[in-house]
Amino acid sequence: MSNKYLLGVFHDEHDMIHAAKALKKSKIVIHDIYTPFPVHGLDQYLDIKPTRLPVVTLVAGTTGLVLALLFQYWVSVIDWPINVGGKPFNSFAAFIPVAFEITVLFGAFITVFAFLMRSKLAPVFSSGIMHSGATQDKFVIALAVKDASFDTQNTSKTLADLGASEVSIREVK
């Protein structure tokens, strides 16, 4: 699989949405769209698999919950039982606030780190920026140039017709 992409750069958000709609209609698969800010309603034109991030959050949160409950049980029942106002050592109600906090802490942190890892956003990764304009004020539609059967010339023309101010090819490592 090659890493060549055909980029269509748009000045205007609405032109870009219109172009994405038209591309979808003519059965051209869009690799991804890069925008400087979140644009609503783009998902339907991109055939991207749904994110698995919620699963990470669920697993992380559950881990936090179980660990917090086990730790509190170990502390207050096994290792150092203290009689507080005659309440049982294993007082589930008293464990809930801490368990809740640890659940949120695990869930939030691990989700953020998993997101940074997967989208290669940490300083240790070198992420190929498709088009520097997409980090400022341009909207970039990227189409994967898979093989020789991809009609680069015609597709470039289509993009330009749809309002792309610049059409270029970019290779990413």
Partner 1 sequence: MTIYKNNCQLNKILILMMGLGMVGIAGAFYLLPIKVWINILTANFMFLSIGLFGLFMLAITNIVGASFVTPYRKVLEALAGTVPYLGLSMLVILLGSHSLYEWTHVDVVLKDKILMEKAAYLNLPFFSIRMIICIGLWSLMSFVLVRKFREQEKFPERAERIQESLGGISAAFLIVFAVTYCMASFDWIMSLEPHWFSTIFGVFTFSGLVVSGLAALILILIYLQGLGHLKGLNLNHYHDLGKLLLGFTTFWAYIWFSQYLLIWYANIPEEGEYYVLREHFGWSWLFWINIVLNWVVPFFVLLPRWTKRNKTVLQRICLIILLGQWLNLYVMIAPKVMEHHGVMDPTITWIELFITLGYVGLFLFIFFKRLSQSSLVATNSPFLEEGLALEQ
Minimum Å gap between C-beta 148 and partner 1 is 38
- Contacts of residue 90, defined as CB under 8 A and 6 or more positions apart, other chains included, come to 73, 76, 77
Instruction: Report the Cα 105 to chain-centroid distance in Å.
Output: 20
Q: Where are the beta strands (DSSP E) in the chain?
A: 4-10, 32-34, 139-145, 166-171
Q: Which is nearer to partner 1, 57 or 156 (CB)?
A: 57
Beta bridge partners of 9: 140, 166
Minimum Å gap between C-beta 93 and partner 1 is 5
Q: Which is nearer to partner 1, 43 or 151 (CB)?
A: 43
Minimum Å gap between C-beta 19 and partner 1 is 18
Q: Which residues bind partner 1 (CB under 8 A)?
A: 40-41, 43, 54, 85-87, 93-94, 96-97
Q: Which is nearer to partner 1, 28 or 94 (CB)?
A: 94
Q: Supply angle C-alpha 135, 137, 9, rounded to 5.
A: 90
Q: Which is nearer to partner 1, 98 or 129 (CB)?
A: 98
**Radius of gyration of the chain from its Cα atoms, rounded to whole angstroms:** 25
Closest by CA to 164, choosing from 135, 131, 123, 118, is 131
Closest by CA to 169, choosing from 2, 5, 3, is 5
Minimum Å gap between C-beta 147 and partner 1 is 35
Minimum Å gap between C-beta 67 and partner 1 is 20
Q: Which is nearer to partner 1, 7 or 60 (CB)?
A: 60
